[in-house]
């Protein structure tokens, strides 16, 4: 008999986290070394409660469908484990005789992963722990990028381009688009692709650079006056010079983070009130991490590959690592899987490089050299009719 494995999701889902789950399940089946395949229901909550799904005998057809199913098919949570929780986690792992544990998530989840690994070692448990990276925010360190980012970036890039065409076609208002990203502007930066694919004016604001609202409004007025239409794209977490978000929802999440939101509406209101222009705010919100039609083909493949690599590594005896993506962009984009110690990834955050923001609200070519291969697939070629 082989070992039992357990996989869990942590934090916000992405369009491709189920692709990683598919990779885990199919690698486990292909190995011939896995007995039971368990998945925790709703992440850490399921581990604590011993509430596991048994995926061992789920039909291959359903497992294949995971690849086209957004969000998390096993459920996730935003519960941050406290020191008192870890013994309960170990209890569940022992009760189900788990030999390998895979936690698929972002910074907070890698921290959990690391702590479980350390505790298991201290207790002499024969457990392999491997982190599987996931975050649309792309803010994990020591990996070229994170699965989930490419799809969120493609969503931002194409949605913004489509919106820019609308703003140019009917230039009766400034259109403000809010995209997810509390602290990291990676996804919102991708929306600046609209400036390359359309004739619309595009201004982009990321949370990494504090925004002076008067300067922003002056820039908006000047850009709109050019008469080509104007799209303003903003991260939900954009802050003023005081370091506070321009707008927030008044909600604090399970990890203790303030939930920003309403930033685009705040800016649209200021445009109406202070500039006397019409403006409207669009906020696709969670749609930006859940869309399958906009998913990046490269991201889909890599999300599968990190799941597969995690299982192979654990079966080979590795523990205490996160799968990382190593990529080169020389002549063409190529990627492969690597491994980085969980301790070095946990709770660190990769910020968007300030030198990739030009004049406060334009995104440089250097970003697109990095991101276009991840956005992946053919980019649209729009019909632009000129006089």
* Active-site residue list: 137
Rounded to whole angstroms, the Cα distance separating 172 from 195 reads: 19
Which residue stretch of 65-73, 186-194, 238-246, 322-330 sits at the interface with a second copy (rule: CB under 8 A)? 65-73
Query: Which of 59, 46, 64 lies closest to 8, judged by CA?
Result: 46
| Alpha-carbon dihedral sign for residues 303, 309, 312, 313 | negative
Neighbour-count burial for 203-233, b at 16+ CB within 10 Å, e otherwise = bbbbbbeebeeeebbebbbebbeeebbbbbb
Half-sphere exposure of 347 (CA within 13 A, CB side): 7
Is 147 a binding residue for a second copy by CB under 8 A? The answer is no
Structure tokens at 293: 């039609």
Q: How far is the CB of 112 from a second copy (least distance, A)?
A: 16
Instruction: Between 144 and 236, name the residue whose CB sits nearer to a second copy.
Output: 236
Query: Which of 289, 324, 301 lies closest to 374, judged by CA?
Result: 301
Rounded to whole angstroms, the Cα distance separating 227 from 123 reads: 68
Instruction: Between 160 and 371, name the residue whose CB sits nearer to a second copy.
Output: 160
Rounded to whole angstroms, the Cα distance separating 200 from 198 reads: 5
Is 351 a binding residue for a second copy by CB under 8 A? The answer is no
Residues in the chain: 387
Which residue stretch of 5-13, 136-144, 349-357, 363-371 sits at the interface with a second copy (rule: CB under 8 A)? 5-13
Is 233 a binding residue for a second copy by CB under 8 A? The answer is no
Q: Which of 1, 84, 172, 316 binds a second copy (CB under 8 A)?
A: 172
Is 289 a binding residue for a second copy by CB under 8 A? The answer is yes
Half-sphere exposure of 172 (CA within 13 A, CB side): 1
Half-sphere exposure of 198 (CA within 13 A, CB side): 25
Binding flags for a second copy, 71-110, as an x/- string (CB under 8 A): xxxxxxxx--------------------------------
Is 49 a binding residue for a second copy by CB under 8 A? The answer is no
Which residue stretch of 57-65, 138-146, 321-329, 340-348 sits at the interface with a second copy (rule: CB under 8 A)? 57-65
Q: Which of 2, 30, 94, 249 binds a second copy (CB under 8 A)?
A: 249
Which residue stretch of 80-88, 168-176, 301-309, 356-364 sits at the interface with a second copy (rule: CB under 8 A)? 168-176
Query: Which of 251, 242, 236, 249 lies closest to 211, judged by CA?
Result: 242
Is 379 a binding residue for a second copy by CB under 8 A? The answer is no
Binding flags for a second copy, 290-329, as an x/- string (CB under 8 A): xxxxx-----------------------------------
Neighbour-count burial for 271-290, b at 16+ CB within 10 Å, e otherwise = beeeeebebbbbbbeeebbb
- Give the number of residues in contact with a second copy, rule: CB under 8 A: 68
Q: Which of 162, 221, 326, 358 binds a second copy (CB under 8 A)?
A: 162
Q: Which residues contact a second copy (rule: CB under 8 A)?
A: 9, 12-13, 18, 39, 41-42, 53, 55, 58, 62-63, 65-66, 68-78, 158-159, 162-163, 165-166, 168-170, 172, 175, 249-251, 253-254, 259, 261-262, 265, 272, 278, 280-287, 289-294, 380-385, 387
């Amino acid at each position: 008999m082989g070992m039992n494995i357990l996989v869990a999701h942590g934090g916000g889902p992405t369009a491709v986290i189920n692709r990683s789950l598919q990779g885990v399940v199919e690698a486990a089946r292909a190995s011939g070394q896995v007995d039971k395949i368990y998945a925790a229901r709703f992440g850490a909550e399921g581990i604590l409660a011993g509430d596991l799904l048994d995926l061992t005998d789920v039909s291959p057809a359903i497992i294949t469908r995971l690849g086209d199913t957004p969000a998390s098919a096993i459920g996730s949570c935003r519960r941050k484990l406290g020191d008192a929780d870890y013994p309960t986690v170990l209890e569940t792992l022992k009760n189900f005789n788990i030999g390998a544990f895979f936690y698929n998530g972002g910074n907070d989840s890698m921290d959990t992963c690391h702590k479980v690994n350390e505790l298991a070692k201290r207790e002499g448990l024969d457990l392999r722990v491997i982190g599987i990276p996931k975050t649309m925010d792309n803010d994990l360190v020591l990996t070229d990028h994170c699965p989930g980012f490419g799809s969120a970036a493609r969503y931002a890039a194409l949605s913004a381009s489509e919106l820019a065409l609308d703003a140019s076609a009917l230039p009766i208002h400034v259109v403000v688009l809010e995209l997810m990203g509390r602290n990291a502007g990676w996804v919102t930066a991708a929306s600046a692709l609209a400036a390359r694919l359309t004739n619309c004016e595009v201004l982009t604001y990321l949370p990494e650079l504090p925004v002076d609202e008067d300067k922003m409004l002056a820039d908006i007025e000047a850009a709109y006056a050019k008469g080509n239409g104007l799209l303003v794209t903003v991260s939900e977490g954009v802050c003023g010079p005081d370091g506070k978000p321009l707008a927030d929802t008044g909600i604090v999440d399970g990890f203790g983070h303030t939930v920003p939101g309403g930033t685009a509406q705040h800016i649209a209101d200021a445009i109406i009130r202070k500039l006397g222009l019409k403006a409207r705010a669009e906020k696709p919100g969670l749609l930006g991490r859940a869309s399958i039609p906009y998913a990046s083909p490269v991201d889909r493949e890599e999300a599968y590959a990190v799941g597969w690599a995690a299982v192979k590594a654990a079966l080979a005896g590795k523990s205490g690592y996160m799968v990382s993506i190593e990529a080169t962009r020389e002549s063409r984009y190529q990627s492969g899987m690597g491994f980085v110690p969980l301790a070095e990834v946990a709770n660190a955050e990769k910020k968007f490089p300030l030198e990739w923001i030009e004049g406060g609200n334009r995104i440089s070519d250097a970003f697109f050299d990095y991101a276009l291969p991840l956005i992946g697939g053919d980019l649209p070629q729009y019909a632009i009719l000129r006089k």
